Amino acid sequence: MFTIAFVGAGSVEFTRQLLRDVLSFPELADCSISLHDIDSERLEVAAALAGLAGGVRVRTSLSRREALEGADVVVNMVAIGGHAATLTDFDVPESFGLRQTIGDTLGIGGIFRGLRTFPFLDGLAADMLAVCPDAWLLNYTNPMAMNIQYLSVVAPRLKAVGLCHSVHWTIHDLSALVGVPHDEVDFLSAGVNHQAWILRWQHEGRDLYPALDAAIAADPELARRVRVDMYRRLGYYPTETSEHSSEYVPWYLSHESEVDRLRLPVRAYASISAANVATYVETRDALAAGGAPPPLGDDAVEYAPQVIHSLVTGQRRTIQVNVANHGLIANLPAGAAVEVPATLDRLGVHPHHVGDLPRQLAALNRSFLNVVDLTVAAAVEGNPDHVRHAALCDPATAAALTVDQISDLVGAMTAAHGSLLPVALRGA
């Protein structure tokens, strides 16, 4: 029996969404589901939601290792520190005058989200290698690039890939914008997570970029988005939202005029995180009262169910994955976490060789990966100096603060997150 373990199952809406998509495949109807969370109440809610699927075998455990026993696939979606830590990631930098929009991938928020996630990843990797060494780890937890690169260093035998829907939705929305059916489009995307690029985008052999240019020219409001601004300057469309994309470069958030021109929602993820908590409470209370949970949307498309279906059935399909760069993108650093296409089948996940990115895109990705590399090195080497080095090299942070302010901010964030950080880095 094929067993899927969900770690961080207390992210109940995401767990429910993934379960719905998994069980939509008839071939997966008899799989076994194992749910783990450290919060007993959230775990009970997740189990109740899983039970609504009907007929599926569900087990729960507050013990991670117990929950992982016999797993064929492990889906990771933890958020270490929860909503409180997310607010810290915004509030402390804001007190220094640093703007963030999402704060979960790069920048000060991304650095410290990574640092507090690494100890968890150590334990998860150790448990998987002990009780399900052949299982695939499908990681959804951000910061994606930092987490995947960290795992590739500390647990190279682990079969880990990172999954993110940003490329899918970019192609979906761009295709709608130019009036072409999404499922008829051919494309190639590569780069790093949240800063990959649409390198080719065609319909029946026709390049769709000229159609995008025409759509932008016809609607001046489209130009008031970071992604469109980056596309017009760099020649290729980035694959993550404008809110995310604004944080990975030095050009926008530190300038009030650009925040206004490009309609950037500062602190957006703080509100999203609060809304997620509210949705959980609504779901918990509805189930406790014997009612139905809030309905799920119909437009969710995640890669994990597709990976699982291909592992079980052998059906070949192509998705985007995040993996260590071993000869995949030639002009990005070896070993760095990159996002590339991959073929799925019964044997697993097979990343594609892409070759060189256009120079300007590789240059921007390298500035992103410098922060990733230094953050990972800080934890692997137990070197708190590298936390400051990562912050100093972060494009948006360096554009907004002086070197002394950056150093003081790192100290304040270290104190605020305290015991969530690796022991060796608590004095950063």
Q: Answer for the pair 101, 244: CB distance below 8 angstroms, yes or no.
A: yes
- Cα dist. 421→96, 116, 426 in Å? 21, 5, 6
Q: Answer for the pair 78, 7: CB distance below 8 angstroms, yes or no.
A: yes
- Measured at the CA of 65, the angle between CA 104 and CA 109, to 5 degrees, comes to 10
Catalytic-residue membership of 417: no
Q: Which helix (H) or strand (E) holds 237?
A: strand 237-238
Q: Report the Cα 71 to chain-centroid distance in Å.
A: 22
Sign of CA dihedral 200, 201, 207, 211: negative
Cα distance between residue 77 and residue 162, in whole Å: 11
Q: How many helices (H) and strands (E) does the chain have?
A: 17, 13
Tell me, what DSSP letter sits at residue 225? S
Identified catalytic residue from 83, 165, 172, 352? 165
Cα distance between residue 200 and residue 407, in whole Å: 41
- Measured at the CA of 67, the angle between CA 63 and CA 73, to 5 degrees, comes to 145
Residue with tokens 């406790």: 288
- Measured at the CA of 279, the angle between CA 419 and CA 81, to 5 degrees, comes to 5
Q: Report the Cα 167 to chain-centroid distance in Å.
A: 11
Q: Is 139 annotated as a binding residue?
A: no
Task: State the pairing for strand pair 206-207/185-192.
Answer: unpaired
Q: Is 194 annotated as a binding residue?
A: yes
Where residue 228 falls (left for φ over 0; alpha for ψ -120 to 50; beta otherwise) is alpha
Exposure of 32 in the CB half-sphere (CA atoms within 13 A):
12
Which residue intervals of 143-267 are DSSP H helices?
144-154, 166-177, 209-218, 226-234, 242-245, 256-261
At position 408, the amino acid (one-letter code) is D
Helix (H/G/I), strand (E/B), else coil: 360: helix
Q: Is 417 annotated as a binding residue?
A: no
Binding residues for Mn(2+) are 164, 194
Binding residues for substrate are 142
> What are the catalytic residues?
165
Binding residues are 142, 164, 194
